[in-house]
Amino acid sequence: MTNAKTKVGVLYGGTSNEREVSLASGKVVLEQLPPDRFEVTGIEIAADGSWQIPLKDCKQFEVIFIALHGGDGEGGKVQAQLDSINVPYTGSDARASARALDKIESTRIATETGLAVPKELTLAKPTTAHDEIISFGLPAVLKPTNGGSSVGVSIVTQPDQIEAAVATAYDENSTVLVQEYITGRELTCGVLGNHSSELTALPPVEIIAASGFFNYHAKYQAADTQELCPAPLTDTQTAELQRQAVAIHRALGCDGLTRSDFIMDKGGAMYYLETNTIPGMTPTSLCPKEAIAAGLSLAELFTRQIDLALERAAAS
């Protein structure tokens, strides 16, 4: 007698500015979850926020695979909604999701954990932004305090660029983070596991954007962006990057899969930037590349995330 298949709902789409990436992630997860183990159903959240299968009816699933990026889907609201009906889901819980998406909170926690972060300034009043940024110093990076895929992010090198950069960031969020621009190598590292148990760091990636800035276009549209996996680092550098990625995953209280971004300066010092609690899931996304480099297929990567979700639910 064979065991019954696990009923999985794959949640994708959503209302954030990363909707198109989420649609692509959801499609891949639906295609790659092994059909001999899982009975899989897609659940699209429309651009107006309506669920293809109403929330109350999602109790039919044993676990929800969340393939949402940014906004409510990555920031904790959807996780809280699923908690309200007691359905397990992949990734971090509502509290950890909110902490990670909030760049001010996550860098504070990183600092408390002993990780270096770029010097920063928080802006809440756009009318005084120009003088504050000039005093802060250029070049600087301006970004919304919530969000992903580098949407709304600008590198400002000249005073006449400030006004447009501030407007771009404020289009995405009411609070803006200004960070010191650090010249160096852009690195990212995935971590797999629940924060209260053993964690596995994946092989890191080095990102080389032809424009010098890994923005939304470079991530998803540019053909000349290089993503080197495993990153060409020394064994010592790789171990330190993985240590820091594991440390922030645990400190934020994250579960499942995360991907944390860093800059390594010319002297070899690592600076933490942010943590993504629901990384992209397409074959060209960074974490799947890392998993493949570690010997995991996409099916195995997605199955492991479901197993972790069920382990967390069983322990609660």
Question: Dihedral sign, CA of 91, 94, 98, 100?
Answer: negative
Q: Is 259 a catalytic site residue?
A: yes
Q: Is 149 a catalytic site residue?
A: yes
Nearest to 181 by CA among 276, 273, 286: 273
Q: Is 17 a catalytic site residue?
A: no
Tell me whether residue 236 is exposed, middle or buried, using C-beta atoms within 10 angstroms of its C-beta: 0 to 12, 13 to 18, 19 or more.
exposed
* Distance in angstroms (rounded) separating the CA atoms of residues 162 and 167: 9
* Distance in angstroms (rounded) separating the CA atoms of residues 35 and 137: 55
Run of H or E residues at 303: helix 298-315
DSSP, collapsed to helix, strand or coil, labels residue 227 as strand
Q: Is 75 a catalytic site residue?
A: no
Please provide residue 122's backbone torsions phi and psi, each rounded to the nearest 5 degrees.
Answer: -105, 130
280, 285, 290, 304: the active-site residue: 280
Run of H or E residues at 110: helix 103-112
Q: Is 18 a catalytic site residue?
A: yes
Residues in the chain: 316
106, 194, 276, 285: the active-site residue: 276
Q: Is 172 a catalytic site residue?
A: no
72, 74, 206, 274: the active-site residue: 274
Tell me whether residue 108 is exposed, middle or buried, using C-beta atoms within 10 angstroms of its C-beta: 0 to 12, 13 to 18, 19 or more.
middle
12, 14, 18, 19: the active-site residue: 18
Residues carrying an active site annotation: 18, 149, 220, 259, 261, 274, 276, 280
